[in-house]
Amino acid sequence: MIKSNSESGTSLRHVVKILNAEVLTGEEPLDQTVQHVECTDLMSQVLAFIKSGNLLLTGLTNIQVVNTADISGLIGVVFVRGRSPSKEVIAKAKEVGLPLFLTSYSMYEAAGHLYLNGLPGSTE
């Protein structure tokens, strides 16, 4: 099993590379370290279980995703399948300093790529 970076985590910059992602929020500093990744479309699940500092992969793009991520202290949000949020949602994320990313991979593919690159889930 490949677990190269699991102890030290992976930087957001590296995540962008792995997912061939677009940084929607512009010139954010992307040096923060991602410890764990979670995939869900349930905001209450994020609020109940996801630790601050985690990265969220989701298929939802409404403004409550940004509020939920902000309130939960997440390190960033990746929108999958090339579904981009609206300008208003991106503006809100910039306002609160939450990096947003867009990948054309599906949730399953995006998660798989990150996992193979050494990012574990939160139960490991």
Partner 1 sequence: MHYPRHEFPIKEMDFVRAGEASLQVKKILREMKAENDLVRRATIACYEAEINAVVYGRDGVMSLEVDDEGIYIYVEDKGDGIPDIEQAMMEGFSTATEEIREMGFGAGMGLPNIMKNADEFTISSAVGEGTRLKIIFRSGWTTEEA
Interacting span for partner 1 (CB under 8 A) from 8-16, 29-37, 40-48, 102-110: 40-48
Query: Is 35 an interacting residue with respect to partner 1 (CB under 8 A)?
Result: no
Query: Is 54 an interacting residue with respect to partner 1 (CB under 8 A)?
Result: no
Containing 91, the helix (H) or strand (E) segment is helix 87-96
Distances from the Cα of 113 to the Cαs of 16, 45, 69, 92, in angstroms? 11, 23, 22, 28
Query: Is 98 an interacting residue with respect to partner 1 (CB under 8 A)?
Result: no
CA distance 73 to 67: 10
Residue closer to partner 1 by CB (options 4, 122) is 122
| Residues that bind partner 1 in the complex, under the rule CB under 8 A | 41-45, 47-48, 52, 58, 60, 62-65, 67-68, 70-73, 88
